[in-house]
Structure 1
C-alpha cells in the first residue's frame, strides 16, 4: 500500500474525478462552517488563492450556509491592491464572494497602507476574532504553502513567529514569480484553525508531497509545517 495512504501524520482522500473532488470538498467545508455557526453563532473562513480551489469556492457558495454569519479572510496575499486581478482577494471575490454576497470579507492588503501596517491590522483582527473554523491551503511544486517559500530570507522568522500573520520577502524564490512581497499566515496562525484542508490536483503534487515527507525538512519543504503540528490531522483532498 502507498505510504501516502497510510500516514499517521495526515489524511489523504483520493477522488476519482474533478467533479467528485469539488463536491466533496465544498460539502466538507459547508459542514464545518455550519457546525461553528450552530455552536457559536458565527464562523471564520481563511481561503487561499490560485486556480485550483476556485471551482470549490464556486460550489461552496451555492450550498446552504448562513453566509451573513461567516467572516472570510485570506491565508496569504501578494503585495497588490485587492482590486488587482492577480491578487488573491480578487480571485476570492470573483469565485466566491459574488455568490455568497452576505459574507463579510477582510482583505489582508489595505490600499494606501504600508505592508507593516497591513500585517499589524491583520494580526490585531485575528487576535480579536474567533479562532478560524477552517483554513484552505494549497501547495506549490517547490513545497511552499501559504506564502512560506523555501529559500526566502524571511522564512525562519515567519516559521518562528508567535503572531498569526507575517510579512515575507521571497525575492529570488522561483515559486513567488513576479510578486516577492507577501503577507502570510504563520504556523502559529494555522495552528489556531479548527480544521485544515490541503487541496491538490495532479500526480506531480503527490510526488512533491512524497519528497517532502522523505526529506523531513520543514525549511526545504514548508508544507511540512502544516502537516507536523498539534491538533487535528491535515486533510488532503487530491484528484488527478
Structure 2
C-alpha cells in the first residue's frame, strides 16, 4: 500500500488550548478584515461541539467591523435553539457576544416537518448571500467525520461531491444522533480560507491515517479536493 499523502497539512502546533485559541482568533480576524476591505462584507462559517468554545471567546473580542460580518454554521443538528445540543445556541452564547454581538447570524435549522424540508428552507435563505464563504473553520470527530459527513450517512457520496450545487443538505445518521443539516463539501472547499481545528493526540492520529490513500475517511475529502493547503491548528 502506498503511503503517499493526499496533501501535506500546514501544521500550526501550540502548547495549549489558550495559545491555539488566541492564534486562531487572530488569523480569522485578519481574514475577515481583509474580506471587508476587499468586498465590503465577510462570510464566516464555524463548527459546533466543545472544541471551539475557547476560540469563539477569543474571536468575540477581536476588533473589526462586525456589523459587516455574517456568521453561519458548517452544520447543525435538526433541533431548535432551545436544545442544549443546538450549534446555533452555542454560537449565540459564546461567539456572538462582546465585540461580535453586532454580527449577523444565519442558522441552518428551520422549524419544519423533517430535515429535508429544513434544508430546503435554509438553502433558499442562503441563496441570498454573497458566496463564496471567506473563512470556514472545520472540526473533526474521532471517526474522521467533519461537518456532518458521517461515515454511515446514506448520501455521503453526494455530500462529498466537489461539483455538488446544493446550498444545504439533510443528513440521516445514526452516528450523529439526530438528523443533521450540513453545507456540502463543494461549499466548503470553494471558501477563500478553510482551517481545521483539532485538539488531542487521538485526533492527530486519526487525521494522519486519513491522509494516507486507502484509509480514507470523510475528512480526507477536504484535503483531496482543496485547491490550496488546509491549515491545521492543533494542540495536545
**Counterpart in the other structure of 2:139:** 138
Aligned to 2:12: 13
Alpha carbons of 1:109 and 1:7: their partners in 2 closer, same or farther (altered >3 Å)?
closer
Worse-matched range after superposition: 154-163 or 77-86: 154-163
1:44-92 per-position Cα deviation (integer Å, ceiling 9, x unaligned): 1101101111110110010111111100110000010022111111111
Distance 1:7 1:110 in 2: 36
Q: Which string of whole-angstrom CA distances, capped at 9 and with x for unpartnered residues, describes residues 185-222 of structure 1?
A: 1111112211001101111111001111124454xx10
Matches of 1:107 and 1:138, distance apart in 2: 17
Tell me if 1:239 matches 2:235.
Answer: yes
Residues 137 and 199, structure 1, Cα contact 8 Å, conserved in 2: yes
Q: Pick which of 118-127 and 185-194 moved more.
A: 118-127
Shift of 1:228: 1.4
Q: How far does the alpha carbon of each residue in 1:95-150 deviate from its partner, in whole angstroms, 9 at most, with x for none?
A: 11133211111110113464223212332333332221111100000000000001
Change (3 A) 1:148 1:170: same
Alpha-carbon RMSD across the aligned residues, in angstroms, is 2.0
Gaps of 5+ in 1: none
CA distance in 2, matches of 1:205, 1:124: 35
Whole-angstrom CA distance in 1 between matches of 2:30 and 2:112: 37
The CA distance in 2 between the partners of 1:51 and 1:34, in whole Å, is: 26
Change (3 A) 1:200 1:62: same
Runs of 5+ consecutive residues of structure 2 not aligned to the other structure = none
Moved more, 159-168 or 103-112: 159-168
TM-score by length of 2: 0.90
TM-score by length of 1: 0.89
Aligned length: 230
